[in-house]
Each structure stands twice: as C-alpha cells, then as structure tokens.
Amino acid sequence: MTTTTNTLPTLSSLLDDVASAIARDGIERHEHDVARVASAFGAAGRAGPVLDLVLDRSQPAVARERAFGRLTPELRAVGARSIAA
C-alpha cells in the first residue's frame, strides 16, 4: 500500500507558523505570509473589517497584530484544507 503525503500547507499549519513568526518578529517582517493567510480567509468567504485592518499597512503594527489574533478562531473554523503557496 502506498501512502501519498500532502506537501501543501494546511490553513491551520500556516496560521500557526505565521502567528509564531509575528509574535517573534512583528507583523511587518511577514507581510507575504500575512497576505497568504488573508487570501485563504477571503477565499473562504470571510472578509470583513478585521481582515481589512490586518492588511492595512498604514495602521500601527500593534493594531494589525491584535486584529490577526482576532482572526485566529475564525480561521480555525474555516478548516484544515490545503492552500496554495
């Protein structure tokens, strides 16, 4: 029996990785990854003002980081399906 391993990151694993990176380095050093999470979130039909704040680079980093944290429960609710890199 052959087992195929899915090498694409899941939304849940991406979220964990990005949240850890933001906590370690700040949101500004991980804009590309934040955009990937936001894209997955938007693709799931979950756009809104909190997501807009996360993506708004003119806002203070601390506000964007807190908004990212507020997205976490909703992102987990989207599920652990694979996302594009």
What pLDDT band is residue 40 in, cutting at 50, 70 and 90?
A: confident
Is the predicted pLDDT of residue 11 greater than 90, yes or no?
Answer: no
Average pLDDT, rounded, for the chain: 79
Which long-range contacts (C-beta less than 8 Å, at least 24 apart) are formed by 9-14? Answer: 9/82, 9/83, 9/85, 10/80, 10/81, 10/82, 10/83, 11/37, 11/40, 11/75, 11/78, 11/79, 11/80, 11/81, 11/82, 11/83, 12/75, 12/76, 12/79, 12/80, 13/80, 14/40, 14/83
What pLDDT band is residue 71 in, cutting at 50, 70 and 90?
A: confident
What pLDDT band is residue 3 in, cutting at 50, 70 and 90?
A: low
The residue among 78 and 31 whose pLDDT is bigger is 31
